[in-house]
Amino acid sequence: MKSNIFFYPITFLGLVLLFCFYSPPNISYAQEASTITYEKTNPDSQFRYKIKRLGEKITLFRLNLLNKSGVVEFRIELLERRVNEVVYLTDNKEVHYLETSTSRYTTEVGLLFEELGNSPNSTDMLKNTLAKHIKIFEVARDKFPAQTSNWILLQQLVDVANVHSQQP
């Protein structure tokens, strides 16, 4: 009987995850405060994005079980991914995915501050990161007419980042 990769589901799943996560980024987008690199898999590629999110959840679960200290670093990485996804969506006018992506960013910020608790060093680093995100979101927001739904969604991200970057 011939060996086929589809008979080995773990190998196939591993190759799919490798394809989703370790492909080089498509486009770089320079911003005054930092450099934005589009994610290879974004919310507009629905099936691949669901696999990517599943991989993120598995990694978080594994880190929670085995390495509690790695959770904060991974959540910061997830926060950067959410920023990259929002920028991708605004640059490519994929606005029907914008609401869920902004919600994911807001959730990730809240979870990060909850994880950090009262750790002043990490909180200061995160506040600096959020200050960069404010500039990025303001540029993305200004790509839409004022007071439209997309403008308001991006303004909410600016507000969330402002509130958390000014917390004591």
The set of residues, in sequence order, having a beta carbon less than 8 Å from that of 33 and lying 6+ positions away, is 131, 132, 135, 136
Is the model's pLDDT at 37 over the cut of 90?
A: no
- Beta strand 28-30 with 35-37 is antiparallel
* Cβ count near 35 (within 10 Å): 8
CA–CA distance, 136 with 2 (Å, rounded to integer): 53
Can you give the pLDDT at residue 100?
93
Q: Which of 72, 67, 70 is nearest to 123 (CA)?
A: 72
The per-residue pLDDT for 8 is 53
Give me the residue spans of the domains in the chain: 26-165
Q: For the segment 50-95, what is each residue's pLDDT rounded down to a tens digit?
A: 999 999 999 999 998 888 778 888 999 999 999 999 999 999 888 8
Q: Say what the pTM is.
A: 0.75
Quick: pLDDT tens for 130-165.
Answer: 999 999 999 999 999 999 999 999 999 999 999 988
Give 51's contacts (C-beta < 8 A, 6+ positions apart): 16, 17, 20, 41
Q: 43 falls in which pLDDT band (50, 70, 90)?
A: confident
Query: What integer pLDDT is reported at residue 90 of this predicted model?
Result: 92
Going by C-alpha positions, the residue among 35, 52, 20 that lies closest to residue 87 is: 35
